[in-house]
Amino acid sequence: MAAPLTLASSSPRRKELLERLGFQLRIVQANIDESQLPAELPEDYAKRVARAKVLAVVRRLQATLYTTDQEARRQFAQGPGGVPAHGEDPVRWVVGADTVVVVDDQIFGKPADLQEAREMLLRLSGREHLVITGFCLFDLKRNREGLQAVTTVVKFKDIAGHEIDQYLSTGESMDKAGAYAVQGVGSYLVEYMRGSYTNVVGLPLCQVIEMMEEMGARDVLPWGRDS
């Protein structure tokens, strides 16, 4: 059995992507300020937020896992969504990500309400846009990290007003960057894309696995754990 991978995210889509590959996950949500800095470029923003999420979780793990309080360690290992401690290193690897949709250098995050979701979809209609995911992988044992951003180009079909209303009625828009879900009903809005599909869903699996291989995280890989 592979060692557990800590996912610094509450995103059900990232969780599903990794679980489909067979990863054993512990979910630890990172509560950080995700406000964009003045003049910050979209790629820099996505990478900074992804790293901040991971480091926030790393600090929590270090405070819990390396304490002498055995009861705190036991509660962490048995906590909601957790996995039991695994050998001498119950948690070593932490991964987190942040995904943004970009149009005219403007970042589209998750819409605050239906009106903002409608405005986002109107801006995306008939146009290409960028989906950028920054992701960070942290090794607690060696105290080192990897950081990268992946970009996918997505082109929407021309969307009529009544189509936007119909799509909004599905409820998919409210917790998605750019107000659409490429893995859901929103797939029919996409005319074409260039680049990683899973990046648009929320985590560029190809590049994440490559980074794991490069950093030596083979113990968490479902198919590549060293004997």
Just give the CATH number of 5-215: 3.90.950.10
Choice among 44, 69, 89, 98 that is catalytic? 98
CB atoms within 10 A of CB 101: 24
**The pairing of beta strand 25-27 with beta strand 5-7:** parallel
Give the residue-averaged pLDDT of 141-156. 97
Q: Poorest-confidence range of 77-91, 160-174, 196-210?
A: 77-91
**Is 98 among the catalytic positions?**
yes
Query: Which pLDDT belongs to residue 66?
Result: 60
Q: pTM above the 0.85 mark? A: yes
* CA 88 to each of CA 21, 66, 92, 106, 169: distance values in angstroms, whole numbers, following the listed order: 24, 11, 10, 46, 49
CA dihedral of residues 199, 7, 18, 225 (deg, nearest 10): 120
Write out pLDDT tens, residues 15-37: 999 999 999 999 998 989 899 99
Domain residue ranges of the chain, discontinuous segments joined by + = 5-215
Q: What is the largest CA-CA distance in the chain?
A: 61
